[in-house]
Structure 1
Amino acid sequence: MLYFVLQKGISMFNRKPSKGIDFLIKSKKIGQSPEDVASFLRNTAGLNATMIGDYLGERDEFPIKVMHAYVDALNFEGIDFGEAIRYYLRGFRLPGEAQKIDRVMEKFAERYCKCNPNSFTSADTAYVLAYSVIMLNTDAHNMMVKDKMSRSDFIRNNRGIDDGKDLPEVYLSTLYDQIVKNEIKMSADSSVPQNKQPSSVMKLLGLDNIINLVNWKQAEDKALGANDLLIKNIQEKFKAKSAKSESVFYVITDTTILQFMMEVCWAPMMAAFSMTLDQCDDKAATSQCLQGFRYAVHVTSVMCMQTQRDAFVTSVAKFTYLHCVADMKQKNVDAVKAIISIAIEDGDYLQEAWEHVLTCLSRFEHLHLLGEGAPTDASFLTVPLVDSEEKTQKSSTNTASKRTNALQNPAVMAAVRGGSYDSTTAKNNASALVTPDQINNFISNINLLDQIGIFELNHIFAHSQRLNSNAIVTFVEALCKVAITELQSPTDPRIFCLTKIVEIAHYNMNRIRLVWSRIWKVLSDFFVSVGSSENLSVAIFVMDSLRQLAMKFLEREELANYNFQNEFLRPFAVVMQKSNASEVRELVVRCVSQMVLSRVNNIKSGWKSVFTVFTAAAADDRKSIVLLAFETMEKIVRDYFPYITETETTTFTDCVKCLITFTSSKFSSDASLNAIAFLRFCAVKLAEEGFVCHDKDTDHQSNNLDSSEGNAIVHKDDHVYFWVPLLAGLARLTTDTRPTIRKGAVEVLFDILKDHGELFSQSFWTNIFGSVIYPLFNSEICTPNGQSDSTEDGSWNFETKTVAVKCLVDLYVTFFDVMRPELTRVTSVVTSFIRSAYRQSASIGMSVFQRLTEGLASKLSKDEWKEILLCFKESAAHTLVVFDKIVKMMQNIEIPERNESYSEAEKYSDPDIEDEEEANMETSSYAIVKMKNHMSLQLLIVQGIVKLYETHRRSFCAEHMGIILEMLSAITSHASEVSSESALHIKFHKACSLLEISEPAVIHFENESYQSYLKLLQALLHDNPSLSREMNIESQIMLVSVKILRKYLNCAGQEPSKDASCKDPVVHWALPLSAAKKEELSARTPLVLHVMRLLGGLERECFRRNLPLLFPLLANLVRCEHSSREVQVALYDVFQSSIGPIISV
């Protein structure tokens, strides 16, 4: 029983698919979901392949969902395009209706691009190429096609289909060979007799409706070619029969013979028709002539005889006398009727001749309006629209009165005077007189035109939806040309053809995408051209017309990866960028805003044009436009964010670019800051929607981070393409000239990373650090007063980087477990502030360095501590190199010998010497300032080292302490060397005296360095005896102490005894010290006192071991005549507390 129910459903489906599906669902043989029905169609035996194709192409909602489910279940990943089509068409036959074919192929292109995201620029390319492949298959394997398409023809036919670019010729050649050698065959259908009706092969394949869908003129070109064999055969027959007297009538079945007959007789025919029609007013004669014109146009059109066809059409158009109404007669009205008939009956073949036909229709409509007494289009195309509406409302309703008043209209006077057929408008010669007879003839002839109703004109445009694919394109091209002629008229601009453009766009909008794309390419260029017109009223009217079309078009759903919405809305973007009229730009923003708010559910690729418009608006010089666009952007981001992220990833990139442009607004700081806030909001929404960056395609991510603005199609799962544009955009804002924007951008950037970092993989973090964060610190770090950058940029560069480095450390500490490999680079960024050689920068660098080490202290391994300390050591060493350069700079300067101050220099010295001395003093001033700055910097580093030890001493091993002590030793040694340069001190003294500034506190610098060094050594000796023994800290303390004592004795003029065993007493004379030496000795006293206290605090055994080294120095201190009382007291304490007990023992 169940089997028979299923068979009944299959039988019903093969007769009427929708009824069969309904029966099977109600019988519960298949599920109600589109996926269940799609599975049934794909896997059930006995279904008619033609009926499957017909059902999948239906436009009803449920069959469309079934078709989508059917195609989405197919996997084309990694399959060649030709093979994908072959596999796709195995399950069904293409339906016979063009619209159904279009829907089926459109979905195939979308699915193929989803499975192979890097195959084409967009699904539009795959869509067009699919049609081309099917056309090639039909051409190559249809026995009815004699002249086959060549490889070069196939390549030429597919030029420019990849978003304006050509696909590789090698790719197209390979595809061509695949199709030609291996025919695409669809599923066998038992209901179709395969061995009969060879003339309907194309129909059997389901491909007969495709021939006219693609813009190939190959068929036409072949028809135009002369059939040489046929001509030769006919000539031979005529020659053979020429000697015979009898006449034989030959029935010709090949219509090509008509072409040769028309080529011979068309000129005499036209002359006969034209002369008779021109000279004769007889109704019967003129009717026959016009009938002859109509037939001649038909034959020449069908035979593709373009020159002859255009000649006949032009002749009929001239005989309408619409360009000279005062001379019009009944036969001319009949000529107008003939033009209308030609347009309806032969529209598929008129091609360029459409321009003549539409020109006649335009002139007829113009005369009709004049006859009605209605206001001309010029009345509101040359004045504000509001005034025009008021005048229209106040116009009289009396027809006779209208016509009387209309005679005063300049447009009517121009029509009465008339002009030549070729003139686009009637001559407007003010000096030409209009006679009463002309006026009377005009009025009576206007009444003659009442024989033709305006509805007959409208029928032509409504009939346009029946034109074939090529004809509708040429029709639109001609209509646009006539419309531009109307609108550009200097005296009488009109909008008849413009309104008809909107109408025919509505009529033909449901054509298949392939044809509609060609139509819209023509219309798009037209709207851009006219929308940028200098005539404000015309431009506004055109853009409003485009808005109506867009609203209608956006009712249609667009599949993923297609680009047609973007192409449709492109005129808005182009006009927004090109128009000089603020009114037009404001209208564009309003139109786009209305479309977004009312059609947001259907917008897909159109977002690109939307954001292009708003980006241009954000940079507009009119405040109202900026605020209007931002108001819509605010609503888009707040309320419609999911619609942005569900399309291509480049859409979100465009959104970010738009918001960034708003941050540059010069009209509203609130809008700028709100734009940054919306960037933060975008990150929140991305996180809420689960845009997590996985490690599934690390290499792919890495290769594309720097090309986030490209148009490559990527998988939705590649969420890196959403986060990177957002973060990179914020990074660019950190270089803005406004402090609030810079600071806000830095804070929001790092807040986003910190708040949503758990969503990111390690590879994504690595790429973000490399492409977004590290570049923030690439340029030199300056201070607000830094001399490396005298401009204002130095200040904001420093301020921005100060905020950024603090945020960086907090971020890195938070996500250290994931970002552990970046430790060296992060530390390098932090220590770069120390290397900047400015105390304020170094202070910040040390502070941030401490925050980094404190935050990571418990997580760092020994090797990682070593990396940090080595990086710190490298930065400290760099500052010493700079210090040496400053010292050498000062050593190379010649300080002038003058008693008076530099500010009171003599006025009558040699100018050259004066200039050289002035330059030397400027250099000295710079060197002294830099010297003071570097000494402060060195002390800051020393303090940082000591604090680093105090905080993390339990984490340090011998290797770590070795690095730390090497840093301190290098700084103290350097300080000692500088302080020992007596010549340098003299120069400092001279220069500072002349410049009237204080001298660098070199001795203080040395004292502070040594004291910190000794404190650290002493602390290490006390805190970790085992480590101290391992590193021989006691020996280091002794060496530093000896060095300090010797330097003090040298300063006091007390040379240490070289031979302690000398028994002969030596007489020492106490020579007086200079003031400078006394000052130096006094400055060194605190350091000596520190050494004394350190020695006095040593353990007895330690002191005993080092007594042989220390005792000679202590003895010399005893007999030092110039040492201070504090030193003598400290020395006494050392003897009493340390040496005394040893001696007594």
Structure 2
Amino acid sequence: MRGKNVEALSTLLALCDTEIDALKDSWSTILECISRLEYLVSSPAMTATIMQGSNQISKDAILQSLKELSGKPTERVFLNCLNLPSESVVEFFTGLCSISAEELKQTPARVFSLRKVVEVSYYNMGRIRMVISSPDEVLLMFLVWARIWSVLAKHFILAGSHGDEEIARYAIDSLRQLGMKYMERAELAHFTFQNDILKPFVVLMRSGRNESIRRLILNCIVGVIKSKVGSIKSGWRSIFMIFTTAADDDLEAIVEIILEQFDQVIGDCFMDCVNCLIRFANNRSAQGISLKAIALLRICENRLAEGLIHGGSLKPIDIPADGTRDVIEFYWSPMLAGLSDLTSDPRSEVRNCALEVLFDLLNERGNKFSSSFWENIFHRVLFPIFDHVRQAGKESSISSGDEWLRKSSVHALQLLCNLFNTFYKDVSFMLPPLLSLLLDCAKKTDQTVVSISLGALVHLIEVGGHHFGDQDWDTLLKSIKDASYTTQPLELLNDLGFENDKHHNILSGDLEIASIKTIVNGNALNENQETSRGADVEDSAGMASPSGRATKPTDGGGLQRSQTLGQRIMGNMFMRTFTSKPKNLSSDVIAPSSPSKTTDATTEPDTREEEESPMLATIRSKCMTQLLLLGVIDGIQKKYWDKLKAQQKITMMETLFSVLDFAASYNSYTNLRSRMHQIPDERPPLNLLRQELSGTCIYLDILQKATAAVNSREEDTVKEEKLEGLAEQKLVYFCEKVLRDTSDFQSNTEETTNMVVHRVLELRAPIVVKV
């Protein structure tokens, strides 16, 4: 370093003071010289290196000159940037940030230019003035400021991501101070400089994984909210983006601080607020956070409905539709969809809270929803709640570990049906897809899913059937008819799959829908006789032997009276009336008693589950579905028979007869006798006697109602008369067939003393007696 070098530097700095408009793209070079000057003055080791060969007097003079230049002359360069024209000031900031980036790469990193970036940013705040002479000047002002901030934002992101945590913290804190200063200035309408200022925090939050840095960013934003909440406008958008990113953090204290700020927020960034709260509600680190977020969502909904959010207030549906309808749906849809997703949360309190808030909201505001919006709600909010139920039969059934899915599905289906009934006039057009949901689930192989869906169907009909019109009844009965055909256990007709003892043992234990209850001792016999006296199709899980005769004892002392889980569920579901709250179904189900050990086999509790094939599960599920569908039909004919048209009653007869005819064919005397020869004496044969007896009772009730004199409407008299004649023919034919089959079997049997014959007659006796 020589005296001429110092003189050249002095001349350059003087030009920055006198010829400021002429420098233009030379600012990068000038600022690099200033950066090196500061480095020389602040680093004695570097000063000694570049001054080798000079005498001490010369060194001291040069060093003193450099220190003088690094003082006021250098400071004037940065102060004079206020007077730079628009193009030049952008070049100035670009050059300064470029030099700062190079300093940050050094080892150790330097922050001289970074400090100057913060300083000149303060100096140039005056470029955003609120008193403007013309709209063109406003536009020009913000275009220049936007270009400046684009450069600054990239550099703050670079510095805030620095590997040295101290430098990163300095950059973030400097950005905070700068943001606080900008927030003091009122934001003009249609401009978003607040949002732009806070965007670097968003990027840093999304890209950074250092917990200390993330905590610092959140503290900075919370500080901005607390001190400038009244001034924040477009800045809310970036704030919510930051909070949304932090929603997954396991920082409960910080998250609590964030949630405390939400009740201060309404207005321009409502959607960002909602999306952020939904993200917080999905935070698994603390259940309290999720519940508080859901509660805040409810507050947001209230403010939206009350008209505190511009464009989001609901209008009565009788007001002519206009473009605002789409705006309203834009506000409501994400909130409803977010609550819908939360109904499948594995945490029971969160799941139940979301379910309650969702349906409370719909029940409270639904009277102002349009038909098109209701359709979107059903398809995008309500039906997706049951996707896991619809998928259950494809891969695996609902396991015992997912019992919460079962309970929540029962409750959700009840709430869905109640909602449908409440707004029937507005949503009646959604009956077909609702029935499709329920009956699609009823066709699954998972017995729990079947029970849930058909139980909900019964609830829907019981509570809302009085609302149904003719078209609705047509849709319902046709859907039930299709489901009954689809779920007929046709696999039972193929005997090839059931010839070995292993399969038979499984089926006879769990698929005998109506088996003779086997009795072990005198106490069991007395209990069975008491039960058989009052036995009815609706309150017995199986058929008691008419004679009450004990079965052949085994070496282990006989077989205990068995009742399968599937039978018990069917018996309970057949009678159950759903309420608005879910019940613990496990309390209604009595575990099946295991047979006593016999000489030929010992069955472990889980042997059946391990050995059961998919085909056996399918058959069991279909049998259960058929029985539950009979219960649905029975409920309709008991409560709504007089509301049905003649053709609808005929449809019910056809559906019933299809189920009954299939069961009767499988339970024919010949088939039962044939199957008895293939099993031990103490076991009942495979049969569908429960379906046949239930179907017979219901079918006879319907035929008797149809043949009875009923006061029908005048216009339906002809159709009712035709129905009466058809019902009489079916009644005579059915009774004649049952009695003739019994008579033919007895007359064609020579071995009248054969035990098999007596057992077959005993099995079918309840049906004959009923006829």
TM range (shorter): 0.7 to 0.9
Task: Report whether the alignment pairs 1:508 with 2:124.
Answer: yes
Where does 1:972-1121 land on structure 2 (aligned, <5 Å)? 972-980=660-668, 982=670, 986=674, 990=678, 999-1022=685-708, 1024=710, 1029-1031=721-723, 1032=725, 1033-1051=727-745, 1053-1054=746-747, 1071-1091=751-771
> 1:639 maps to which residue?
264
Question: SS at 2:234's partner residue?
Answer: coil
2:467 aligned with 1:859: yes
Deviation at 1:439, TM superposition (A): 7.8
Q: Secondary structure at the match of 2:327?
A: coil
User: Unpaired runs of 5+ in structure 1?
Assistant: 1-320, 322-327, 371-410, 420-433, 702-714, 907-919, 1056-1068, 1092-1145
Aligned to 2:19: 346
Q: Is the 8 A contact 2:222 2:257 kept in 1?
A: no
Q: CA deviation at 1:356?
A: 2.4
> Structure 1 residue 366: deviation in Å?
4.5
Deviation readout 1:945-969 (Å, 9 max, x if unpaired): 1122212223222122122222211
Query: d(CA) in 2 for partners of 1:532 and 1:448?
Result: 37
1:768 is aligned to 2:768: no
Matches within 5 A, 1:700-1099: 718-778=327-387, 781=390, 788-789=396-397, 798-880=406-488, 883-884=489-490, 886-888=491-493, 890-892=495-497, 894-895=499-500, 927-928=615-616, 930-980=618-668, 982=670, 986=674, 990=678, 999-1022=685-708, 1024=710, 1029-1031=721-723, 1032=725, 1033-1051=727-745, 1053-1054=746-747, 1071-1091=751-771
1: distance between equivalents of 2:443 and 2:116? 72
- Secondary structure at the aligned position of 1:804 is classed as helix
Distance 1:470 1:900, change over 3 A: closer
- State the secondary structure of the residue aligned to 1:509: helix
Counterpart in the other structure of 1:252: none
- Contact between 1:931 and 1:1000, CA under 8 Å: does it hold in 2? no
Q: Secondary structure at the match of 1:718?
A: helix
Output the CA distance in 2 between the equivalents of 1:418 and 1:549.
38
The equivalences for 1:1134-1145 within 5 A come to none
1:808: how far off? 1.3
Q: Distance in 1 between matches of 2:155 and 2:657?
A: 79
After superposition, the C-alpha distances for 1:812-852 in whole angstroms (9 at most, x for unaligned) are 11112222222222232233333335444333333322332
Aligned partner of 2:272 among 654, 671, 678: 654
**Cα distance in 2 for residues equivalent to 1:984 and 1:459:** 109
Please report how far the alpha carbon of residue 467 of structure 1 lies from its aligned counterpart in structure 2 after TM superposition.
0.7
Query: What does the per-residue CA deviation read over 1:436-491, in whole Å, with 9 as the maximum and x for residues that have no partner?
Result: x8888655544334544733322221211211111111111111122122233213
Deviations 1:468-523 (A, max 9, x none): 111111111111122122233213x3322212211211222343100011111111
Specify the SS of the correspondent of 1:781. helix
Corresponding residue for 2:563? none
AA partner of residue 895 (structure 1): N
1:539 aligns with 2:227: no
What amino acid is the match of 1:831? L
1:677 Cα deviation from its structure 2 partner: 2.6
Aligned to 2:289: 671
> Whole-Å Cα distance in 2 between the matches of residues 921 and 1074 of structure 1?
36
- Distance, in Å, in 1 between the alignment partners of 2:282 and 2:26 is 52
Q: How does 1:277-676 map to 2 (within 5 A)?
A: 321=1, 328-329=2-3, 331-366=4-39, 370=42, 411-418=43-50, 445-449=62-66, 451-452=68-69, 454-491=71-108, 493-511=109-127, 512-620=141-249, 623-624=250-251, 627-636=253-262, 638-640=263-265, 642-643=266-267, 647=268, 651-676=269-294
Report Cα offsets for 1:1082-1128 as digits up to 9, x if no partner.
Answer: 1211222222xxxxxxxxxxxxxxxxxxxxxxxxxxxxxxxxxxxxx
Bigger relative contact order, structure 1 or 2, given CA contacts below 8 A and separation 6+?
2
TM-score (norm 2): 0.75
Does the CA contact (< 8 Å) of 1:731 and 1:746 recur in 2? yes
C-alpha separation between the residues in 2 aligned to 1:451 and 1:787?
A: 81
Name the aligned partner's letter for residue 357 of structure 1: I
Give the C-alpha shift of residue 864 in structure 1.
Answer: 2.3
Find the residue that maps to 1:974 and give its secondary structure: helix
Give SS of 1:1006's match.
Answer: helix
C-alpha distance in 1, partners of 2:173/2:499? 79
Q: 1:855 to 1:921 in 2, by over 3 A?
A: closer
Distance 1:722 1:866, change over 3 A: same
Q: Is the 8 A contact 1:550 1:568 kept in 2?
A: yes
Query: Identity of counterpart residues, as a percentage?
Result: 28
**Change in 2 beyond 3 A, CA 1:1038/1:899:** closer
Q: Deviations over 1:64-103 (max 9, x none)?
A: xxxxxxxxxxxxxxxxxxxxxxxxxxxxxxxxxxxxxxxx
Cα gap change, 1:737 to 1:1042, in 2 (>3 Å): same
Q: Which amino acid aligns with 2:765?
A: T
| Residue type of the alignment partner of 1:454 | G
**Contact kept? 2:157, 2:204, Cα under 8 Å:** yes
Letter of the aligned partner of 1:826 in structure 2?
L
Residue 675 of structure 2 contacts residue 685 of structure 2 at CA under 8 Å; is this kept in 1?
A: no
> Contact conserved, 2:14 with 2:73, CA < 8 A, in 1?
no
> How many residues are paired up?
651
Cα drift, residue 970 of structure 1: 1.3
Counterpart contact for 2:34–2:70, Cα < 8 Å: no
Contact persistence 2:6–2:62 (CA under 8 A): no
- Structure 1's 717 and 871: CA in aligned 2 closer, same or farther, altered over 3 A? closer
Whether the aligned pair in 2 keeps the contact of 1:347 and 1:471 (CA below 8 Å) is no
Q: Partners in 2 of 1:358 and 1:955 — Cα distance?
A: 91
Q: Supply the distance in 2 between the matched residues of 1:608 and 1:728 (Cα, whole angstroms).
A: 21
Q: SS at 1:829's partner residue?
A: helix
Cα separation, 2, equivalents of 1:348 and 1:966: 96
- Length-normalised TM-score, structure 1: 0.52
Please tell me whether the aligned partners of residues 359 and 482 of structure 1 are also in contact (alpha carbons under 8 angstroms): yes
Inter-CA distance 474–974: structure 2 relative to 1 (3 Å threshold): same
| Matched residue, 1:692 | 313
The alpha-carbon distance between structure 1 residues 787 and 413, as it changes in their structure 2 partners (threshold 3 A), is closer
Report the Cα offset of residue 788 of structure 1: 3.5
> 1:497 and 1:1084 mapped to 2: Cα distance?
98
Question: Which AA in structure 2 matches 1:1010?
Answer: T
The answer on whether the counterparts of 1:781 and 1:797 sit within 8 Å (CA) in structure 2 is no
Whole-angstrom CA distance in 1 between matches of 2:436 and 2:618: 24
Q: 1:1021 to 1:634 in 2, by over 3 A?
A: farther
Aligned match of 2:298: 680
RMSD in angstroms over aligned alpha carbons? 3.8
Q: Is the Cα contact below 8 Å between 2:672 and 2:687 reproduced in 1?
A: no
Cα deviation, residue 532, structure 1: 0.6
List gaps (5 residues or longer) in structure 2: 128-140, 507-596, 602-607
